[in-house]
Amino acid sequence: MILQSTRLIVFRKTPFQESSLIIAGLSPEFGRLDFMAKGARRVGAKQFPVVDIFRELQVEFKNRASGLHSISKAELIASCDAVASYPENYFASCRLGSFLLKNSHPMLPCPKSYAATRNALLHYAQGDSILPWDSLARLVFLWENGLLPDQQENIEEREAGLSKKRFVSALLSAACGEASLPDGIRRSYWPKFTAWVDELCRTHELQP
């Protein structure tokens, strides 16, 4: 078995047997990954003290052809634990994590979706509840998987004074943390944006 290394955002951890954890999350290089962390729940365990939901880790693991991968090392990169201090943001983060785990596939790279997810969690952990960062991350997921229509009829081209194509491109860049959001977007626009993303997800039969 080959030892691999990747970043991972943890979205779920499940106790297994007496002392282990089953961990599910998203990686930019490998898509959805599911791990077994043996002994992670033992008192005094030193190998995996950083494993928790909404944390970004650098993990080393043995890549198995089938079944759960086995983590050999995990180091903390960034913690978004503070998202739990903001109930609305916490539930939005949970919805985003559930969406990604249900619709992402193992061994299918998703660097843009990963970047947008990381950016969303960082904003939510800072208490930013004005913008729907989870919907922006789902927009990136749709685009990265070729599910975004060429003609965005439900996007208002007058928002920020840009054409539809340039406006959506600006949203994608901002969602990934590569640029700021365009100026001039009205707060009343975001509920319509979220409804449009929801409609696209239903059209492509993506699980919420």
- Indicate the domain borders of the chain: 2-79, 83-203
Per-residue pLDDT at 117: 98
Token pair of 79 as six digits: 């913690």
Per-residue pLDDT at 184: 86
Separation of alpha carbons 143 and 34, rounded Å: 24
Say if pTM beats, i.e. exceeds, 0.85.
yes
- Give tens-digit pLDDT for 156-168: 555 556 677 888 8
Is 3.40.50.1100 the CATH number for 2-79?
no
Per-residue pLDDT at 126: 97
Work out the angle at residue 43's Cα, subtended by the Cα atoms of residues 39 and 47, and round it to the nearest 5 degrees.
50
Separation of alpha carbons 139 and 149, rounded Å: 11
Q: Which residues, given as ranges, of the chain have pLDDT below 50? A: none
Per-residue pLDDT at 38: 77
